[in-house]
Amino acid sequence: MAKNTTTPPAIIDRIGDGFARIATAMRTEAWTAADVIGLNPTQLQILIFLVGRGKAGMRVKQIAAHLGVSQPTATDSINALTRKGFVEKLADPSDARAVAVAATAEGEAAVRRAGMIASATDAAFASLSTLEQEDLLLHLVKIIRTLQASGAIPEQRMCVNCRYFQPNAYPGSKEPHHCAFVNAPFGQADLRIDCGEYETADASSQAAAWKIFNRGTA
Ligand code: SF4
């Protein structure tokens, strides 16, 4: 058998290639899931985002910033979602002159319907062992945090940035972290990437928490 003498691309490139393959599969699935409820993937993404925010809703500008889409794209998508009855416009509780957009009960039901579509990528993630899933989640949190710090993506509502996060409060325990919002310990596998109760911590608290968190995960 001929020997393969070509040098493989750098590991960073191969990791990027791997993510690109997964992203392709997820994009295809997003089209299928969105199609089931008569939406396009951007509209579905906005709807899922709003369902996660509850009844208070969010302003269009915030939605666009969180999802990394332009304001006109967010506005068009929200108009389409409003016509379908999946979202509604309300007075923003923090400013009576402003308008917030929130998911309706029909919108929540539509997201549940879309989520029932079989997903090959979910099945692939589920094929990893519990420990592998936990490791993957941890590495994703680290990558997302770095992307956020460089300004490549907007602030994410992750535990590691949250004012309620107390990392490694119980060293050596299976549930080493503490969430001061629910006043309960939690494990690595429960780290949230998009939490409805998230409140951002100030920069110095985030840096201090990250240092303690990293010490426990290195
Ligand atoms: S409120 Fe949410 S994001 Fe904040 S620490 Fe608790 S679970 Fe994590």
- Start-end of CATH 1.10.10.10 domains in the chain: 11-115
Q: Give dist(CA 175, CA 184) in Å, integer.
A: 9
Nearest-5° angle of CA 47, CA 153, CA 149? 140
CB 185 near ligand 1, within 6 Å:
no
For residues 197 and 10, give the distance between their C-alpha atoms in angstroms, rounded to a whole number: 40
Q: How far is the CA of 195 from the centre of ligand 1 (A)?
A: 6
Tokens of 140: 């994703």
- Is the confidence at residue 200, as pLDDT, over 90? yes
For residue 38 the two structure tokens come to 């008569």
**Share of the chain residues as helix, strand and coil, in percent rounded to the nearest 5:** 55, 10, 30
pLDDT tens profile 92-142: 777 777 889 999 999 999 999 998 888 899 999 999 999 999 999 999 999
The strand pair at 165-166 and 177-179 is best described as antiparallel
CA distance 192 to 165: 11
Whose alpha carbon is nearest atom 3 of ligand 1?
A: 159
Q: How far does residue 68's CA lie from ligand 1's centre (Å)?
A: 22
Matching CATH number, 11-115, of 3.90.1310.10, 3.40.50.10860, 1.10.3720.10, 1.10.10.10? 1.10.10.10
What is the value of pTM for the model shown? 0.82
What are the start-end ranges of the H helices in 116-197? 120-126, 130-149
Q: Are 200 and 181 in contact, with CB atoms under 8 Å apart?
A: no
Where is average pLDDT lowest: 13-22, 54-63, 172-181, 203-212? 54-63
Which of 145, 193, 195 is the pocket-test mutation for ligand 1 (most atoms within 8 Å of CB)?
Answer: 195
Q: Is 159 in the pocket of ligand 1 (CB under 6 A)?
A: yes
- pLDDT at position 92: 76
Residue type, 44: L
Distance 118 CA to ligand 1 centre (A): 29
Ligand 1 binding pocket includes 197 (Cβ within 6 Å): yes
* Contacts by 18-27, CB closer than 8 A, 24 or more apart: 22/121, 25/120, 25/121, 26/121
Cβ atoms of residues 31 and 41 within 8 Å: yes
CA distances, 192 to each of 140, 162, 187 (Å): 11, 10, 11
Mean pLDDT of 64-77: 90
Q: How far is the CA of 169 from the centre of ligand 1 (A)?
A: 14
Token pair of 193, please? 């990437």
Q: Is the pLDDT of residue 166 over 80?
A: yes
